[in-house]
Homo-oligomer: A and B are copies of this chain.
Amino acid sequence: MIEEFKTSYRQHFEETLINEIIEVGIFKEVNEGHKLIDIGEYLRGMPLLISGAIKILREDSDDGELLLYYLERGDTCSMTMTCCMGNTKSEIRAIAEMDTKIVLVPIQKMELWIAKYKSWRNFVFESYHNRLNELLHTLDSIAFNAMDQRLLDYIKEKRRIVKNDIIKNTHQEIAYDLNSSRVVISRLLKKLERLGHVDLHRNYIKVLNL
């Protein structure tokens, strides 16, 4: 796993920082569906993704839930950073979308390295930049697009993440991610099928052309 980390982050960090991370970081492998953090919890450390993907969700006070974005190899969670530094509770939920390898960096090191390593500083800022933009695009999607377009975007993004034209999701699961209802998603998926964009099956969807 350490070797995998090295190849993933070689382009981001200098040798000495890589070694420091290996020294103090906690390497971890989590299975698909594992909840890494929930809303209201405090954080143990800052996760750097080595492989796999993590989905970041936002939850309503009542029942609603909404997929914000995915984290992938080379990403880290800006929310985590802000939470760590302010020592506040998590505003989001993080769930492994597939089997995923991460390394957890202790909170204290974060700040220290920002002063010490230019590459770390850039990494942290770039990460903020990416997350902010992803959040903006999620917001765009909700504010300006109708559900059919959002569903299309969801399918495209999911395909990109799993790197496969087979999307293993029930309609209910998709409905949760889009904060909609099962019936609505079924309806729209059927429309997409009639248009020749997907093939629908029990428990999975085959993407044809979008």
Contact = CB atoms under 8 A, between A and B. Distances in A.
Interface of A: 58, 60-62, 64, 66, 68, 78-79, 81-82, 85-86, 91-92, 114-115, 118, 121, 125-126, 128-129, 131-133, 135-136, 138-140, 142-144, 179
Contacts of A131: 132
Nearest to A79: B132
Quick one: copies of this chain in the complex?
2
A118 B64 CA distance: 40
Given A132-B135, A135-B132, A140 B86 contact: no
A88 to B, nearest CB: 8
A66 B142 CA distance: 11
B138 A139 contact: yes
Nearest to A137: B91
